[in-house]
Structure 1
Amino acid sequence: MTESKTYPLLPLRGLLVYPSMVLHLDVGREKSVKALEEAMIDDSHVMLIAQKETSVDEPESDDLYEVGTVAFVKQMVKLPNGTHRVLVEGVERAKVKEIKEKEEHFETTVTALQEVQGDRNEEEALTRTLMEQFEQYVKISKKVTKETYDTLADIDDPSHLADMVASHLPIKIKEKQGVLETSEVKERLKRVIDIIGNEREVLQIEQKIGQRVKKSMENTQKEYYLREQMKAIQNELGDKDGKSGEVAELKEKIENANMPERIELVALKELGRYEKVPQSSAESSVIRNYIEWLVVLPWTTETEDNLDVPHAEEILEEDHYGLDKVKERILEYLAVQQLTQSIKGPILCLVGPPGVGKTSLAKSIARAINRKFVRISVGGIRDEAEVRGHRRTYIGAMPGRIIQGMKRAETVNPVFLLDEIDKMASDFRGDPSSAMLEVLDPEQNATFSDHYIEEDYDLSNVLFVATANTMSTIPGPLMDRMEVIQIAGYTEVEKLHIAKEHLLGKQITENGLTRNQLQFRDDALMKLIRRYTREAGVRGLEREIANVCRKAAKIIVSGEKKRVIVTEKMIEELIGRPKFRYGQAELEDQVGAATGLAYTAAGGDTLSIEVSVSPGKGNLTLTGKLGDVMKESAQAAFSYIRTRADELNISSDFVEKNDIHIHVPEGATPKDGPSAGITMATALVSALTGRAVSKEVGMTGEITLRGRVLPIGGLKQKALSAHRAGLTRIIIPFENKKDLDDIPESVRNDLTFIPVKHLDEVLEQALTGEKNESK
């Protein structure tokens, strides 16, 4: 024995390294990685010791053998999957004296095991015997190649030869450890010769079994013969690896999956089929994949809801500014669930323009009630199988997106976001929106059936949240199953709060700045909101803030300034000229031009309608890429004015002597909708009478042939657009008075709403009293 030395300890699982042996190891355990790093810092030497049981993940000193190999770490590379691949070379045998647990790894004190040399002639005789036995083994074994034998035959050192032969034999770690622990070379050679003899006997028995099976199965299929041979080999060798071990592993997984009894019976039945099907059969992988899906799906695992209403309210307020109705609905759900403990998950549909925070709100809901969050995008889905899955008879079949999402959630009660549900399509492969009906019906989703799983899956505990930009493209039956919550655009005041409380901090951090290096004045933010964005949400605003942050970062890095304070005047210097004119209201009263209010998927907008009258033969021309509904509104307005020409002080023969042209600017943009009737009628009357339309008035409403004003939708979004445009008076249908409560108070205070029942009231409010002589 030589003096003691201390090395970092690396436990080996199912593996053993002999002296002079060069081997690649994949190391993934944290303590093992730390031991290797410590070794690389010191002298690149590490102590390799095999574990007694491979099933132990975190071995202690009692789980390790007492004799191992001191090895030199030649190379260490980190792989993409997080593990480390290490090239080691065994140096010498060593015996453990003491193992100490340091902060991040084990350290061991060892003494080298000196090899005991015997009689040279006796060792030479044993070496020849060993190589003869090994040569016979190679001839009947398929596990060792002829090239390997030729390589080992060139080794002169008996000790090294014994180690190398043992390393190539398919024996258990316990037997290999016995070879490692034998320090006397003569005894080690004898031990390896005995092992080879035993292995040869096993191979000979294997050959006899093959012959016996072949005789008894001469008239059977080749596939069946191979299967029986495999079973016979396993029985003879006691080998539980291979398919039988795989079946046992799957059975254990099934028993530990906490499935309902009926699902467990199905899984065990399929496992029985899997055991009988040949490994090479295509059906074998299909059955195994199916069993794996049954095992990994959550059947009973659930997270415990946090039903504390004040806590949830605090999180929702922290993450989002405004959106009071949505927050109130979530808090109602929590309150009812706290009282009943049995409420089914509601199906919420958040409808609003892009950028208003629908998706992020769903994440906040999950955080507020302590549930897992899963998001799938259903926009553009055309195949029904994307929702329900493919039947297992098809090659490459998989469950649908719903079941895949539940697998990712790992619980039966996640918050499940169905993003862009208004953009689902259908074609010859089916209608995915119809398949979604069962998912979103609280009365049916407790027994949701996926074509791949084929067994009922309970979705009743899931809190489904869908998002959409517009309700017009969502099928009626699907809409009927959801509770729709409208999220309109934000007011300028709300955008200012959102920018200060959420967007600024996020973008300053993402662009590598600090609050001390970059500061925004409120007037600068307001200018970004008014003159650089024109949207209902805040996505464009966030992009513009990021743009300013990048310009500021460049200024700071170049050394021009150490601190940038963004004011209203600096905005144009940093990011260029404004993109939009503040407000869309006319600068003066106009003849033949009226401002309407429109509702689009991007929120509310103002819509200017122009009318010109010229000598002609009574032709009515409509331009501006109008849809059928708007064309019909123009015809209705025109017909009404013809019937009321005398009351409106319009010449009764104006049709025969004039051509009328109605145009809606921005002709490249398609326009349609049932709320431009009174705007077109007002512009027509203004053009025919020469009375100007007030620049402060915006209007929305549909008209009948008798002049009645019908109600419209999207009043909140239209009011926000009027507020942004700088209008002060809004003419609305009388029946829409009930919708005024939905409009933010700050907007209501700045606008005057004029409810009307008839077009005569519209004209009285919109047209100025005097005739414009410029006509």
Structure 2
Amino acid sequence: MEQIKITMEIPVLALRGINIFPEMVMHFDVKREKSIEALEYAMERNQIVFLVAQKEAHLEEPNAKEDLYEQGTITKIKQLIKLPKNIVRVLVVGEKRGSIVSILQEEPFIMADIELLEEEELLMDDVQKNALLGMAREVIEEFGRINTKFAKEAIDKIMLIEDISKLGDAIGYNLITSLDNKQSLLSKNDPIVRLKLAITILNAEIEIAKIKKDINDQVKLKIDKNQKEYFLREQIKVIQNELGDGQGSEEEIDEYLRRAKEIKSTKEVADRIQKEIGRLKKIPAGSAEGAVSRNYIEWLLDMPWEYKTEESTDLERAEAILAEDHYGLEKVKERVLEHLAVRKLSNKTDSPIICLVGPPGTGKTSIAKSIARALNRKYSRISLGGVRDEAEIRGHRKTYVGAMPGRIAHALKYAGTNNPLILLDEVDKMSSDLRGDPSAALLEVLDTEQNSKFRDHFIEVPIDLSDVLFIATANSVRNIPRPLLDRLELIEVTSYTENEKLHIAKKYLIPKQKEKHGITCEQLAITDGAISTIINEYTREAGVRSLERKFGEICRKVAKQIMVLNNGDVKLTDKGVKAFLGTPLYRFDKASEKPQVGIAKGLAWTEVGGDTLSIEVNVMNGTGKFELTGQLGDVMKESARAAVSYIRSIS
């Protein structure tokens, strides 16, 4: 190679996105005026030009001091061809590394003082050299095997290079694509450091290439799979259309998607609906699994996830409604009004869990409806009498044939809102067996700390019950499990007194039965005395159900009398009750005017109040055995035995 004497002043040509190494040949096109001026200046003198890369390739007019790298390559122009549109094609060969010392001018082209960078001496023996060359060749070979865009002949030609300096430059120029990495290699004057850096960069390129190959393989596999699925789906569509099933299935899916967009729900519910619809698309038409999936989607779409009615907090309105619907039950009414007052003051959504305990027929179930109306809540009733399966509350898992959600989910769907009043009727009538204990399932439902995430086995996504107002009813607390009882706020609904029954009959029962049987007030009038007679002599109960049935019986007889005898306007007094209802069923024992030997008076309690008992004692010849007759309770038996013991002690 001809030794070229390098002067200090060399024209500079800025390259965009490329650079050149010593002893490498490169051609490129030049269009910028400054670059053409620099080439013409060099051609008029020694054909030497300094090529250096721009830091930012997109700059049209780079600043020589700020936008160019310092290290570049001193090259010699071998060929220069002018092309149309003021383009010049240049062929150059790299000579030596160089570095910009200072910029002498920027117009009409860049001229700079260039420092020649001599390579450092190679300080290694042949063993170390061969080891480094062997390592480099292994990396180059693996690189060529993974990157198929490089020709095998080019890879083989590079691997034949024995000179460490030339091998590092050849790797940088031919195999490395990143301009930053190329520039890093160009700036290294030590050939050993340069080759080691080239090996490091190639290893990184190999790892990147492996990752790209894996990604490409996965993408190709996915594309092939998608194409296969698309082909199969199109075949299924054709078959379904031939059978007349395809159009309906597509319309059904579209309807589900439309409804899914319209409902208000949590993200978890929305994701589950979309997932299940996607699953339904893959299920063949007519499949039993498809019916299960459709049922599940319908339930998810029908549940009132975030829809609620606005609760009324008007105390006067609520009090008026409760008074209109029910006479008495003051404790229950007072508790409802307290709840409304607290709700209005604190604006909190916590709802009490009330349990109404009392005898049958005292209005526990009907008052719950009135409470719902007073609070402007939807009403839903769950009858728990005879329930013995835990799945009745939590639902069955979808894997079972005929699986359905539990009664809580049914009640919410029926109500159409997530803040209804749900009546748990006859909560003391539940029982347990080998299928589970339903009262244990109610523990989560009635726990205000847990029921915001209630999970139905069928629905599978959390259901928020925190806004639901639960009211339970029971005839006795003795059959309610202790953990469940601990979650309930007990309100005792006591038996009605005679006076209360009289008001209830006049205000509610008699008008209701008259309307039911089509009888007007003029056709039938019942006096207070007749009502009291019916209460005392024909019914003896805590509630008013039997009393209502007696009024119904009277209305039927009056209706028959009107139709058969054409005789109306009946006024029923206490004397005429027997003609309609027959012989009295109950009577009150008359108190003895004078005390009698052998007869004592006792008191007994019943669900309708108290009563007197006449206890007769008879003494006869015999063995002295003590006998008790009649249906006596344990307390009465103990009292009798105590009396006998007392007599014996003083006789």
Q: Aligned pair in 2 of structure 1 residues 365, 509: CA closer, same or farther (>3 Å)?
A: same
How far residue 582 of structure 1 moved from its aligned partner, in angstroms, is 2.9
CA distance in 2, matches of 1:439, 1:565: 52
Q: CA deviation at 1:546?
A: 1.0
Among candidates 498, 503, 509, match of residue 503 of structure 1: 509
Is 1:614–1:659's contact at 8 Å kept on the other side of the alignment?
A: no
3-state SS, counterpart of residue 661 of structure 1: coil
Q: Give the structure 2 partner of residue 194 of structure 1.
A: none
* Equivalent residue in structure 2 for 1:441, among 441, 447, 453: 447
Given the superposition, is the C-alpha separation of residues 235 and 353 from structure 1 closer, same or farther in structure 2, using an over 3 Å criterion?
closer
Alignment-mate amino acid for residue 595 of structure 1? G
The two structures, once aligned, show a CA RMSD in angstroms of 3.2
Mapping for residues 721-760 of structure 1, pairs under 5 Å: none
> 2:602 corresponds to which residue?
595
Conserved 8 A contact 2:496-2:608: no
Q: How far off is 1:371 after superposition?
A: 0.9
Residue 559 (1) aligns with residue 585 (2): no
- Please report how far the alpha carbon of residue 284 of structure 1 lies from its aligned counterpart in structure 2 after TM superposition: 1.4
1:381-407 Cα distance to aligned partner (Å, 9 max, x none): 011111110000001000001100100
- Please report the TM-score for the alignment, with normalisation by the length of structure 1: 0.51
**Cα deviation per residue 1:205-261 (whole Å; 9 max; x = unaligned)?**
xxxxxxxxxxx99xx9xx99975413357999xx98332332221111111111111
Q: Does 1:662 align with 2:613?
A: no
Q: Is the Cα–Cα contact under 8 Å of residues 358 and 493 in structure 2 kept in the other structure?
A: yes
**For 1:585 and 1:298, how far apart are their aligned partners in 2?**
63
Shift of 1:262: 1.1
Question: Are 1:592 and 1:686, in contact at CA under 8 Å, matched by a contact in 2?
Answer: no
In the alignment, is the contact (CA less than 8 A) between 2:524 and 2:568 conserved in 1?
no
Q: Equivalent of 2:542, from 526, 536, 541? A: 536
Q: Residue type of the partner of 2:494? A: A
Q: Give distance in 1, aligned partners of 2:511 and 2:573.
A: 17
Post-superposition shift, 1:341? 1.5
Aligned to 2:337: 331
> Which residue matches 2:283?
277
User: Aligned with 1:315: secondary structure?
Assistant: helix
Q: Are the equivalent residues in 1 in contact too, given 2:394–2:407 (CA < 8 A)?
A: yes
Corresponding letter in the other structure for 2:344 = Q
Cα shift at 1:616: 9.3
* 1:9-64 alpha-carbon deviations (Å, 9 max, x no partner): xxxxxxxxxxxxxxxxxxxxxxxxxxxxxxxxxxxxxxxxxxxxxxxxxxxxxxxx
Give 3-state SS (helix, strand or coil) of 2:546's partner.
helix
CA contact (8 A) 2:419 2:468 kept: yes
Match of 2:574 in 1: 568
Q: Secondary structure at the match of 1:658?
A: coil
For residue 11 of structure 2, what is the aligned residue in structure 1?
none
Residue matched to 1:549: 555
Q: Contact 2:453–2:464 (CA<8 Å) still a contact in 1?
A: yes
Paired residue secondary structure (2:575):
helix
CA distance in 2, matches of 1:449, 1:686: 61
Which amino acid in 2 is paired with 1:553? A
Asked if 2 retains the 8 angstrom alpha-carbon contact of 1:386 and 1:432, the reply is: yes
Q: Indicate conservation of the 8 Å contact 1:585/1:595, yes or no.
A: no
1:235–1:565: structure 2 CA closer, same or farther, 3 Å change rule? closer
2:558, 2:568 within 8 Å by CA — same for their partners in 1? no
Give the distance between the partners of 2:593 and 2:563, measured in 1 at CA.
44
Q: Which residue does 1:765 correspond to in 2?
A: none
The one-letter amino acid paired with 2:384 is: V
CA deviation string 1:69-99 (max 9, x = no partner): xxxxxxxxxxxxxxxxxxxxxxxxxxxxxxx
Q: CA deviation at 1:442?
A: 1.3
Q: Give the SS at the match of 1:659.
A: coil
Question: Which residue is 2:383 aligned to?
Answer: 377
Q: TM-score, normalised by structure 2?
A: 0.60
The alpha-carbon deviation at position 477 of structure 1 amounts to 0.9
Q: Percent identical across equivalent pairs?
A: 48
- The SS at the match of 2:626 is strand
Please name the residue that 1:241 is paired with.
247
Residue of structure 1 equivalent to 2:165: none
1:555 Cα offset (Å): 2.0
Contact 2:497 2:608 (C-alpha < 8 Å) held by counterparts: no
Alignment of 1:401-480 (within 5 A): 401-480=407-486
Distance 2:430 2:624 in 1: 47
Corresponding residue number in structure 1 for 2:372: 366
Does 1:262 find its partner at 2:268? yes
The answer on whether the counterparts of 2:315 and 2:337 sit within 8 Å (CA) in structure 1 is yes
1:621-664 CA-partner distances (Å, limit 9, x unpaired): xxxxxxxxxxxxxxxxxxxxxxxxxxxxxxxxxxxx73222344
Structure 1 residue runs of 5 or longer lacking an equivalent are: 1-215, 618-656, 692-770
CA shift for structure 1 position 554: 1.9
- 2:324 matched residue in structure 1: 318
CA contact (8 A) 1:440 1:464 kept: yes
Distance across 2 between alignment mates of 1:282 and 1:225: 24
1:359, 1:419 within 8 Å by CA — same for their partners in 2? yes
Match of 1:65 in 2: none
SS at match of 1:387: helix
Q: Distance in 1 between matches of 2:363 and 2:313?
A: 23
